Structure 1
Amino acid sequence: MPSSTFSIILTVRDYECDFQGIVNNAVYMNYLEHARHEFVKSRGLDVVKLAQENINLVLVKAEIEYRASLRSGDTFRVSVHMEPISRVRFLFVQQIHRQSDGKLIIDACMTGASIDEYGKPKAFDEITALLVRDSCQPDPEA
């Protein structure tokens, strides 16, 4: 059962922009990762604590379509929708929309996996619960 959409609102900082005055392409990865971490936290899990318990969530594939650019001062919404692929793999479907006009900036599919301390894929009860839980309410603005 897919989880509900989760989102956060952020604002572009000056130092995230390149010499063209637009957000550097690599910075979008930080926005997407921050939203994934906040999503997991909203589900009652802490990625740092999980790592200390040898439960690691890693990104194994990143697909990003850059549709438009953000500029310094732009406020934007990063949405996250998680879909299970298997007991150890999951897909984060993510989008970034500019708040002022709703324009789609980024369309992304990020594939993650749970691995043990040896780097081997492993299913963990905490992660399985995250994949099937539907505890956050759908975001009406996402």
Structure 2
Amino acid sequence: MTNTYSIIESCGRQFWVEPQKFYDFYDFRNRRPNKTLSSKSFKIQRSEDILQADKILFDQVLILTHETDVYLGHPFLDDFRVEASLLPGIRKQSKLYVFKMRSKKRFRRKIGYRMTSQRIKFNSLYRKVGSKLKNNLEFLVKGY
């Protein structure tokens, strides 16, 4: 087990994130436009090359630990960003059935739903150098 991990908030939920691991997020397919996307919790930069994965920058970092250092946000850490790669392909879960019935009324409805998700691999961690400069990022952890 590694000593480097962080807890981020995205899509209304909190995720324990470790380096070089894959996670499935459920809201990226519906929120993914053609060029770029800015949200409160993440930014997606699409690449024109098919072989290169899209980059996602998560801004809402709650907790970060790196070896012996622990950083706690109140509620978020403004200085840290987590970069991830959006891998191609859409995954579907098994079908969830919802069955509605009213007794003595001859009313029956069976509805099936498959939740879709996209897989994300977390790559690196950045620390923002200047408080007003958004593009000035310092590389903090390789292989995060």
Would you say same fold, with TM above 0.5? no
Which structure's residues are more often strand, by fraction? Answer: 2
Which structure's residues are more often helix, by fraction? Answer: 1
Task: Identify the structure with bigger relative contact order (alpha carbons < 8 Å, sequence gap 6+).
Answer: 1
TM-score w.r.t. structure 2 length?
A: 0.30
Q: Which has the larger radius of gyration?
A: 2
